[in-house]
Structure 1
Amino acid sequence: MTTQHPPAVIPESLFADPEAEARWRARFHAPRMSVPDWALDAPAKNLYVSNASGVWEVYSWDRETDEHRRVTDRPNGTLHATTSPDGAWIWWFNDTDGDEFGSWVREPFAGGERQPAIPDVHDGYPAGLEIGHKLVAVGVSTDDGSRLFAHADGKTSEFYSSKDDAGVASLSRDESLLAIAHSEHGDSRHPAVRVLSTGDFSAVAEKWDGEGKGLDPLEFSPVAGDQRLLVLHERRGREELLIWDVAEDTETELELDLPGEVSAGWYPEADALLVVHFHEGRSSLYRYELATGELSSLDTPKGRIGGASVRPDGTVEYSWSSAAQPPVIRARAADGADTVLLTPPGAPAPGSSHVVDAFVEGPGGRVHALVARPANAPEGPLPTVFTLHGGPHAADEDRFSAYRAVWLDAGFAVIEVNYRGSTGYGSAWRDAIEGRPGLTELEDVAAVYDWAVESGLADKTKCVVNGASWGGYLTLLAIGTQPERWAAGVASVPVADYVAAYEDEMEQLRNFDKALFGGTPETVPAVYKECSPITYVDAVRAPVLVLAGDNDPRCPIRQIENYLDRLAKRDAPYEFYRYDAGHGSLVIAETIKQTAAEVSFALRALEK
């Protein structure tokens, strides 16, 4: 670091009222967990991730004994884990301090000595893992591209390599076929599918829908000998389902009468699909009968499904929350009975406010936003924070968020904008940012901003823009290109200098950026310059807080320092918070510390 940057202020408390202070912290500390995942042939052996220890880590659950065990214990947490199909082993990804670069290790399900999971596979960024009884396939990505390996009969061999993005997707139940996703055609944002024989890893079948139409292989049928592969396609301008019978080389497109987009997984007998439907910030569950085409709702409450799968007995286990209600893990039996499956230890999170929909006409079409008002808010314009989601291929949802709730407690209205680039609104909406990323999204944010001010919701002198990752990038771009709109900006793990970011980021993101920008910084330099926040740093006049992790492979630290050095030369008001982790933190105390810094910074900025 060449310049000493003003450090962020970390307040001891945000609120003078002790109850309010305790409430917002309790939402972050409240124990949460993911939907359990189980071993394919030993469904009593389960894994989930939880923050119960104060750090997101992997836990095992033996349903026969009801024993829960914390598997991992690392300073910066662990998120990625799975089991061997026989339930004997737990595999988890071992990176360094949150940098996402590492290798898979394994240990016995009941606990014991850890060991490298696959010999003779070099470290890298994970690019898929499929574990069978006889064969393991694993993908690794580095600056040199993608390499896929197989391990069988005690030997490891490389069966695929490419300078382009590729990954292991699904292994058939009989372990005779392996599906991979690849981007040999040069566009990692719209991949193709190849199915290989695991005998000699020769290509058995290939499917690519052409330019701008991606295919996402989800999973093979769970029935041995059934070589049907479930695939997401976008032939009609949105993500839909098809079933590809690889053995017969036939496919069936499933045209579901649902708005928005869908994903799915198999029921255990492969006679039906569990469909997850996403539309306008909310998700729901359906059962689709393959023989009859009948689609039936599982009648989940309005909100967000955070994960769902089907047990061998047909029970659907899922995570659900809404903006007002904290997440819960539920089980819906085949007879329709719906009960709470698991409750983490400790006090549940205090609730928060509902969100309502706003639909605003923007330059590229109707923009959907989620709007929340503080409880007991006074009439008239409010201080308002525009929280911009990451991705960019993601979406804000009607889900519980301790982060949204603390801004509401601080007296801000909160507006979450599903700008062009967001998922769930069709392929054209998602891909509209190609060739002009960042600036396109901010046109939609500006339209929602204007609506919020004109409707009397937002005080135009007290509007804050914030976000993390892609949302952090948009925040820095917003305060530079729309300086008249924003009273403050809060950017967490952002892209700040896109050319330097491209040079330092992980290879998968370089491939993504090449497809998004239409080339590299060398081939389309004008696009990178136009869409980079550092280009507009001299126009910034709002105070800005930047937060960044030392080990971030997605938004690396050097390019953030470049931006801050430019701010320092202007004597512009800013603060910097730097921490020892990667692309965000899995440590709850650290998340609370950063959140306190963000809200405090915004409140102080609005007082000036």
Structure 2
Amino acid sequence: MTDETTGPGHTPADPPPPAPDSADATASAKGPRGAGSAADGSAGPATDLPDWEKRFRAPRIGLPEWAEYAPDRSLFVSNATGTFELYAWDRATGGQRQATDRPHGTTDGTLSPDGEWIWWFSDTDGDEFGVWMRQPFAGGADEPAAPGLSPSYPGGLAIGRDGTAVIGRSTDEDGSTVHVVRPGEPPVEIYRHRESAGVGDLSHDGSLIAVEHTEHGDAMHSAIRIVRPDGSTVAELDDTQGGTEELGLSVMGFAPVDGDSRLLVGHQRRGRWEPMIWDPLTGVETALEIDLPGDVGADWYPDGSGLLIDHEYQARSELWRYDLGTPGTADDARTGGPALARVETPSGTVSGATARPDGTVEFLWSSAAQPPEVRSTSGTVVLDPPGMKSPESVPVTDAWVDGPGGRIHALVQQPPGNGPFPTVFDIHGGPTWHDSDAFASSPAAWVDHGFAVVRVNYRGSTGYGRAWTDALKHRVGLIELEDIAAVREWAVSSGLADPDRLVLAGGSWGGYLTLLGLGTQPDAWAVGLAAVPVADYVTAYNDEMEALKAMDRTLLGGTPEEVPERFEASSPLTYVDAVRAPVYISAGVNDPRCPIQQVENYVQRLEDRGHPHEVYRYDAGHGSLVVEERIKQVRLELDFARRHVKPKD
């Protein structure tokens, strides 16, 4: 599915924002406010443009999803028109057609198992609040996919082979709900709770539904409940009970085999994300012998005989096959030989992968230097978009810096020549996300303009173990900035960065850290560039979507009324009068994650001081899926920084 990422660290109740500035053109996220502020890539014939614009305009294609019972029918995301939209692809005939066409773009969609229908989520102007629509795969009019359900934020979707759909929703009034929608019948609510929850998966025979929930009140660590379609409980798997630390679980999918009730589950019992198999009908849990460092995700091969393993370690990823032997056996006995075999992929980052019925694996791959491609283990490029090709960029190098909470991993790109360079600290969003060795047009644009770029996987980032991800609780923002400060000191002392020409920049949570850093580290930064930021934490909490309220209560330990001192200590507005660097802010007026009023409150304080700043407001939500808009935003950021920080001659 292109509407949800059900891998480690994902919260299904948290609807995905527009695609981050990375190789993956699908809309997915692993954190409360997403991994970035906008989509990356677009089509465009102007070959005389500078390379940085070509990287945005070059056509991109996301990893194609295929229908379970019609594997020749696929759905993918592309920016071929200059806006990210959904495309239907008939592999048998080679025919492709654009399925959606909206001013603000569309990325949330999936196919029904029989391949007859394309489901897509329809919101208003990027506000992420809307309803599911559907249209015939071959083309035709859109129609409501679940008549009777009012608009909401999406909370997961699963479609059965008989057409039954399980739809997760959330609203400020109702909290989280799950509905079963059968063809021709009104929706039936089977779950409701004030805390965040969402649909994990529907079993192959349609008899079991997996719901991820946080009824215990910790939005960072989900439990799993298995229910029947009538809502009755079958089983519960909850690692948040009985220990000194709460552990999270994630639904990775039911076995794709008739009569097989096993569920693939991600867990953190050994301090990292890794898969196990749980049968909710028998209660049997099967550990998997996967001796790999770092986080491990998994998905089923179509015949249930093995698992496609996604291994993330030190900002890179690779694929493996884990052999389960005879499909559907209770003990997963293998027929002999090693359980784990490498699926060959180049060094870099695999942003998504899927095993096809013929045993081949298709995957979306890129590196910081090489633009993304959808490849196959058969040795072919699955889809090669027509038109202009994206220019390459420079590779990343790794920096490991001792910090107050342990070794910090940073990724560095630099222009030709010798330092010290003017340097952009490009801070990722999430916070439960991480920068990786993947192609991203924004850092490449800074390098083209003579800046070095440093990206820090601070405490709170995924990919370095559960303790690293969970470390930022209660001192939110301040902990991340301690790690950024340690890397900044390394960058200056190593001769890479000019201490008088340092730019702090980021989108979403990265934008929040930018504004907080400008106020708490005022002497360190020459310029600040904040996109779709949290600027006034209390107002942001009061105005944001309900799922993010739950996440903020988890991060800060309560509401603004319950822990006012923590909200004050973590809010950029608290320190606005200490800011010395010129500030550039961009914000979407329809943003449900970092709402516009809290940005306006911060801007008003800058104006009251007469502090140098510029604000760009645009008609979209948490970023934009329109490439011309994204290029405009990057151009404004470049121009602002170059006016205040001269690049290396």
Task: Indicate the TM-score class for this superposition, using the shorter chain for normalisation.
Answer: over 0.9
Segments of structure 1 that go 5 or more residues without pairing to the other structure are: 1-17
Q: Which residue of 1 aligns with 2:554?
A: 515
SS state at 2:645 partner? helix
In structure 2, the residue corresponding to 1:49 is in which secondary structure? strand
- Three-state SS of the structure 2 residue aligned to 1:595 is helix
Q: Which residue of 2 aligns with 1:29?
A: 57
Q: Deviations over 1:63-119 (max 9, x none)?
A: 111111001110100010011111111100000000000000001111111110011
Note if contact 1:241-1:255 (Cα within 8 Å) is conserved in structure 2. no
Equivalent residue, structure 2, for 1:383: 422
1:20 CA drift (Å): 8.7
- Counterparts of 2:146 and 2:47 in 1: how far apart (Å)? 51
How far is 1:290 from its partner?
A: 2.0
- Structure 1 residue corresponding to 2:282, chosen from 248, 256, 269: 248
**Contact persistence 1:170–1:180 (CA under 8 A):** yes
Matched residue, 2:98:
70
Q: TM-score, normalised by structure 1?
A: 0.95
Q: Which residue of 2 aligns with 1:435?
A: 474
Q: Say whether 1:160 aligns with 2:191.
A: yes
Query: Paired residue for 1:370, among 411, 417, 433?
Result: 411
> Which of these residues, 440, 446, 451, is aligned with residue 401 of structure 1?
440
Deviations 1:219-266 (A, max 9, x none): 000111111100000011111111001222101122411111011100
Q: Deviations over 1:435-480 (max 9, x none)?
A: 1110000000000000000011100000000000000000000000
Within a 5 Å distance, the mapping from 1:17-416 to structure 2 comes to: 21-134=49-162, 135-144=164-173, 145-152=175-182, 154-155=184-185, 156-198=187-229, 200-210=230-240, 211-291=245-325, 292=334, 294-333=339-378, 338-374=379-415, 376-377=416-417, 379-416=418-455
Measured after TM superposition, the shift of residue 19 of structure 1 is 8.7
The one of the two structures with greater contact order (alpha-carbon pairs below 8 A, sep at least 6) is: 2
* TM-score of the pair, normalised by structure 2: 0.89
Cα distance in 1 between the residues matched to 2:413 and 2:391 = 16
Give 1:149's aligned amino acid.
Answer: H
2:576 is the counterpart of 1:537: yes
Q: What displacement does 1:154 show?
A: 2.4
Cα displacement (A) at 1:288:
0.7
Instruction: Provide Cα deviations, 1:526-547, integer angstroms capped at 9, x if missing partner.
Output: 0000000000000000001000
Distance 1:253 1:509 in 2: 33
Is 1:449 equivalent to 2:488 in the alignment? yes
Q: Is the 8 A contact 2:235 2:281 kept in 1?
A: no
Distance 1:23 1:185 in 2: 50
Separation of aligned partners in 2, 1:255 and 1:524: 43
Name the CA distance, whole Å, in 1 between partners of 2:183 and 2:455: 51
Q: Is the 8 A contact 1:56 1:78 kept in 2?
A: yes
Once the two structures are TM-superposed, the CA of residue 21 in structure 1 deviates from its matched residue by: 4.9
Runs of 4+ in structure 1 deviating by more than 6 angstroms, as ranges, are none
Judge conservation of contact 1:321–1:327 (CA < 8 Å) in 2: yes
Q: CA deviation at 1:388?
A: 0.3
Contact 1:240 1:255 in 2 (8 A): no
CA deviation vs aligned residue, 1:153-190 (integer Å, no higher than 9, x gap): 52221111111101011001011111010111111210
CA distance in 1, matches of 2:599, 2:460: 23
- Asked if the contact 1:20–1:409 (Cα under 8 Å) also holds between the matched residues in 2, the reply is no
Distance 2:234 2:146 in 1: 26
Question: Do the aligned residues in 1 keep the contact of 2:275 with 2:297 (CA within 8 Å)?
Answer: yes
Q: Write out aligned runs for 1:416-431 (5 A).
A: 416-431=455-470
Contact 2:159 2:165 in 1 (8 A): yes
Following TM superposition, by how much is the alpha carbon of 1:39 offset from its aligned partner in structure 2, in angstroms? 1.0
Aligned partner letter, 1:372: Q
Instruction: For 1:177, give the aligned amino acid.
Output: L
Say whether the 8 Å CA contact 1:172–1:224 is kept in structure 2: no
Q: In the aligned structure 1, how far is the partner of 2:89 from the partner of 2:303?
A: 24
Check conservation: 2:170, 2:546, Cα contact below 8 A: yes
Shift of 1:299: 2.1
Give the AA of the match of 1:529: E
Alignment deviations for residues 133-164 of structure 1 (CA, whole Å, 9 cap, x no partner): 33211011010201110012522211111111
Specify the alignment match of 2:620 in structure 1.
581
Distance 1:165 1:452 in 2: 40
Q: CA RMSD in A?
A: 1.2
Separation in structure 1 between the aligned mates of residue 200 and residue 106 of structure 2, nearest angstrom: 21
Q: Which amino acid aligns with 2:247?
A: K
Q: Could you tell me how far apart the structure 2 residues matched to 1:435 and 1:166 are?
A: 23
**Distance of 2:291 and 2:345 partners within structure 1:** 18
The residue identity in structure 2 corresponding to 1:189 is M
The answer to whether the Cα contact below 8 Å between 2:264 and 2:275 also exists between their aligned partners in 1 is: yes
Any conservation in 1 of the 2:527–2:644 contact (CA below 8 Å)?
yes
> In structure 2, how many angstroms separate the alpha carbons of the residues matched to 1:21 and 1:86?
44
Aligned partners of 2:216 and 2:287: how far apart in 1?
Answer: 24
Matched residues, percent identical? Answer: 56
Distance 1:586 1:242 in 2: 36
